[in-house]
Structure 1
Amino acid sequence: MAVALACGSSFLFGIPSAHAASPSPDISLPTIAVTANPLGVASDELVVPVSTLSGRELSLQRESTLGETLKSIPGVSSTYFGPNASRPVIRGMDGERVRIMQNGVGILDASSLSFDHAVAIDPLVIEQIDVVRGPAALLYGGSAVGGVVNAIDHRIPKEAIDGVTGRGEVRLGGAENQKNGAIVLDAGNGVLTVHADAYKRKTDDLDIPGYAVSSRKSARDGDARESKGRLVNSGSDADGGAIGASIALDSGYVGLSYSTFNNKYGTVAEPDVLIDMKSDRWDFASELRDLGNIINKVKVRMAYTDYQHQELEDGEVSTTFKNQGIEGSIEASHGNIGPLSGVIGLQFHNSKFQALGEEAFVPSNRTNTRALYIYEELPLDALKLTFGGRVEHAKIESNGGDDFGPAQSRSFTPYSLATGALFNLDKNWSLTANLSHNERAPSYFELYADGVHVATDQYEVGSVDLQKERSNGIDAQIRWKEGHNSFSFGTYYTRFSSFIGLFNSGTLVNEEGEAGQLDSDIAEAQFRSAKAVFKGLEAEGKFRVYDTIGSLDLNLRGDYVRATNRDTGDSLPRISPLKLGFGLDYRFNRFGSRLDVLRAFKQNRTDENELVTDGYTLVNATLTYKLPTPEKFQLEAFAKAYNLLDQTIRDHTSILKDIAPMGGRSVLVGLRGEF
């Protein structure tokens, strides 16, 4: 299993360089991967696989959605429901197996319910993104069996400042003709620190190289190949912002923030449907340190979210989705017991979800969870051992209704166990290994869905008899690092004894779920359990190949995942193909440039309802120039060229791949500043 070592500042690694365009040697700053380890160790000391994007590197990788922003990380792809809705896919897993968090607290939206629902986070104001690849259920629950994405925005400042700092960014162009801007400010007097941010995003319909409908879909279904050169109904208009504050204590801080997120965008799958989304969120966070020998630190995080989005057909509201709730955690670090250090944590989640209107295919419901976990580390000279456990209780209640039958309730008690080891062979080489047992309670829609889901073009049927999803996983990795050079190679294997998936039943039904009728022309899909296995390889490396007049780095990456339904021997749907890539990053004085090339191979391992996806070669190029400015102010201009070969690119992980390709050749220009 590959870990992004975060020790450079280029295509594959997520650490910004303090003087990215300087000819002097790079400054390697340790990144604290708080998502992957509650004890706050540096990222190259982690046993679990974690990648981090922040600062300048995040700015250059930033896209309009979270999923697209993270696609440069090995093992990560996206669900891509057009340019406005995209969740990360990690090692072939998405939805309820990838946990998306904001500042360590889960996002309450409707993005895991349906591919056309955007994640309620805009990358424009995010300061850092941590990605854990592989099971993280020990700390974050069964919905993290595939991985974790934690977007960090510092809206509650953790460190006091005396003065004013900030950053701003504008960008124009791209295949969607985006016009985006964001500003982030922090001001303080050494005790009270106030944060404010605001952003605006507006895009047009996406320019595409050819037809929206693929030739394979046209030949199979007889669909006309229309909409050449433009992806109809793919524009967006979004804005948002936040205000927060914290008070510095003698050993710690306490703070509060309020944020709002608004996004109105086309759904692509339906030319006359818009989604009007709004999310308001209150966050509270506090940390108390140096408390004593028994408990030396306590950390509290919680958030209340009021989320709603309405689906508009020809300007009229057809369906409304609401999600309200509170989620949080209390975590205590104990004093060292000899060399042993660790934490014990309590997490809770209470939410109420409602779907009202024409496309309400799930009943109103409530989800309540409570969890207790423990995580410990034991360093023994060159060897570090980690181990821990988690027990959780989840109750999912359906209100029922005319279309869903009587009220129902299910309770589950998942547990997870994990152990890992990091062994330093010498100062350059190290080995890691992880073993885990993970369990997940079924989600409300896996239990209670019963209706037409337009986004998947299926009649989805849940099963109230579903049991816990169970899996066992193992991964191993070898790492090497010396100066500016580093390399890692890993492999993983996850075996599900009970994998909850949405499988086509082979039956056609009408909008009432009735088979054998004249209007029975909708494919029925059922949530059910199967045996499955996910296995794959990940590799990445960074090598300094020239260091005389400026510096030139070569970056390599590759990943492969294979997922199989063990009951049938068939491939599971929407699995990313083999991908190999390289990048060249050259820097001299104020000037920087990079060339990124990614080859995605043809995916012909498909399930029975998928079409084969052709391979593609994606070539992007970036130029940056750091403008002369006063010492405490940095201003950098950048230009990024996308898809230089102007290829028709269809991601196999997208359910819309045969009607919604990626953007064509385009150029985006931007300006970012910090002070």
Structure 2
Amino acid sequence: MNVATRRAGAPARLSVCLSFALAALPLHAAERDRAQTLDTLVVTATAPSSPLHWVTDPRLPRQPVPASDGADYLKTVPGFSAIRNGGTNGDPVLRGMFGSRLNIVSNEGNLIGACPSRMDNPLSYIAPETFDRLTIIKGPQSVRWGAGASAGTVRFERDTPRFDAPGLDINASALVGSRNRNDQVLDLTAGASQGYVRVNGNRSEADDYKDGNGEGVPSRWRKWNSDVAVGWTPDADTVLELSAGTGDAIARYAGRGMDGAAFKRTSYAARFEKDNLPGAWDKLLAN
């Protein structure tokens, strides 16, 4: 009798456990159905126009903070990286190639540095926010902007202002950040139907970075650039432009044996453009 009682008690205990488990199922289902609000995730990117052709507006808001030079901007583009010198003036690398294999074009003119050790690579003189458009051509797809370019071509471009009536266009921005980072950018254009005057300039500075142990890492920079362009637009298809620019900077380099003490730049340019030509010619551009 005792053995039969123990055998009959096992199914009873099993049924009690199952009843408790079934009673808990609605509670877990209610917890899963409860709405949860997660932190907002923002993803910002520019879709390439083709796998080898990439166009964007360098003045658009971006993260991290606005670039202090051209290489700082390009390293956010897929395929690019940068050889760091300090806090600014990195050397751009596209698919493992850099230097003369990468053409740098600024407002339709080739830009080169002066130092054979590339302490002032061409993008050291570029302030991305002062340009209207950035175009990247990956690989040797064209010879329109110079020989070489086995890595690709990077073009910083400014559009031709057009006015139907006398007007003024102002674009300005300011930035304040850690390590006393502060930037100012001004782009001012005044014009009428027959021509325009465009003035743009920028200033950027930051102090040395401190590591986790409180040790200073040489990375300070101070730089400024200013350009002015005067254009004549007699009709919708013609423009004649004269421009001049200047700038200077200093930069501390943790990755070099010496710092960048001077980045003096002076430039003069002339450009003539005629669109919608008759016959076989479609466009004439000289600069």
Give the direction of change, closer, same or farther, for the CA distance of 1:273–1:297 in structure 2 (3 Å limit): closer
Q: CA offsets per residue over residues 244-279 of structure 1, 9 Å max, x none?
A: 111113222111111112111223245764421111
Higher strand share: 1
Q: Which residue pairs with 1:196 in the alignment?
A: 199
Give the direction of change, closer, same or farther, for the CA distance of 1:122–1:253 in structure 2 (3 Å limit): same
Separation in 2 of the partners of 1:172 and 1:57? Answer: 17
Q: Which residue pairs with 2:234 in the alignment?
A: 249
Secondary structure at the residue paired with 1:96?
Answer: helix
Alignment of 1:129-528 (within 5 A): 129-154=134-159, 157-160=160-163, 162=165, 163-174=167-178, 176-209=179-212, 228-232=214-218, 234-250=219-235, 251-269=237-255, 273-301=259-287
Separation in 1 of the partners of 2:90 and 2:58? Answer: 22
Higher helix share: 2
The counterpart of 1:11, out of the listed 22, 44, 48, is 44
The counterpart of 1:84, out of the listed 63, 85, 88, is 88
Give the direction of change, closer, same or farther, for the CA distance of 1:52–1:171 in structure 2 (3 Å limit): same
Contact 1:97–1:142 (Cα < 8 Å) also in 2: no
Secondary structure at the residue paired with 1:253?
Answer: strand
Q: CA offsets per residue over residues 52-101 of structure 1, 9 Å max, x none?
A: 22155365563112112122211111122112221321111111111111
Question: Of the two, which has the highest radius of gyration?
Answer: 2
Separation in 1 of the partners of 2:212 and 2:99? Answer: 29
Contact 2:200–2:228 (Cα < 8 Å) also in 1: yes
Separation in 2 of the partners of 1:70 and 1:253? Answer: 30
Which 5+ residue runs of structure 1 have no aligned equivalent? 1-8, 15-42, 211-227, 302-675
Alignment of 1:106 onto 2:137: no
Alignment of 1:511-660 (within 5 A): none
Q: Match of 1:240, as an amino acid?
A: N
Separation in 2 of the partners of 1:89 and 1:199? Answer: 25
Q: Match of 1:13, as an amino acid?
A: T
Shift of 1:209: 4.0
Separation in 2 of the partners of 1:206 and 1:266? Answer: 11
Shift of 1:123: 2.4
Shift of 1:235: 1.0
Contact 2:74–2:81 (Cα < 8 Å) also in 1: yes
Separation in 1 of the partners of 2:99 and 2:266? Answer: 22
Separation in 2 of the partners of 1:290 and 1:145? Answer: 32
Shift of 1:292: 1.0
Q: Tell me the TM-score normalised to structure 1 length.
A: 0.33
Alignment of 1:120 onto 2:105: no
- Identical-pair percentage: 19
Separation in 2 of the partners of 1:57 and 1:300? Answer: 30
Contact 1:10–1:57 (Cα < 8 Å) also in 2: no
Contact 1:65–1:83 (Cα < 8 Å) also in 2: no
Q: Which residue pairs with 1:71 in the alignment?
A: 75
Separation in 2 of the partners of 1:258 and 1:89? Answer: 29
Q: CA offsets per residue over residues 277-318 of structure 1, 9 Å max, x none?
A: 1111112112112321122321112xxxxxxxxxxxxxxxxx
Alignment of 1:43-58 (within 5 A): 44=49, 49-54=52-57, 56-57=59-60
Which 5+ residue runs of structure 2 have no aligned equivalent? 1-41
Give the direction of change, closer, same or farther, for the CA distance of 1:153–1:291 in structure 2 (3 Å limit): closer
Q: Answer with 125-134 or 187-196: which moved more.
A: 125-134
Give the direction of change, closer, same or farther, for the CA distance of 1:282–1:56 in structure 2 (3 Å limit): closer
Secondary structure at the residue paired with 1:81?
Answer: coil
Secondary structure at the residue paired with 1:140?
Answer: coil
Q: Match of 1:135, as an amino acid?
A: P
Secondary structure at the residue paired with 2:271?
Answer: strand
Contact 1:99–1:106 (Cα < 8 Å) also in 2: yes
Give the direction of change, closer, same or farther, for the CA distance of 1:58–1:285 in structure 2 (3 Å limit): farther
Q: Match of 1:12, as an amino acid?
A: A
CA RMSD of superposed structures (Å): 2.5
Separation in 2 of the partners of 1:129 and 1:121? Answer: 11
Give the direction of change, closer, same or farther, for the CA distance of 1:131–1:207 in structure 2 (3 Å limit): farther
Contact 2:104–2:112 (Cα < 8 Å) also in 1: no
Separation in 1 of the partners of 2:267 and 2:141? Answer: 25
Q: Match of 2:275, as an amino acid?
A: R
Q: Match of 1:54, as an amino acid?
A: D
Give the direction of change, closer, same or farther, for the CA distance of 1:129–1:205 in structure 2 (3 Å limit): same
Q: CA offsets per residue over residues 352-380 of structure 1, 9 Å max, x none?
A: xxxxxxxxxxxxxxxxxxxxxxxxxxxxx
Secondary structure at the residue paired with 1:67?
Answer: helix
Separation in 1 of the partners of 2:59 and 2:258? Answer: 38
Contact 1:236–1:266 (Cα < 8 Å) also in 2: yes
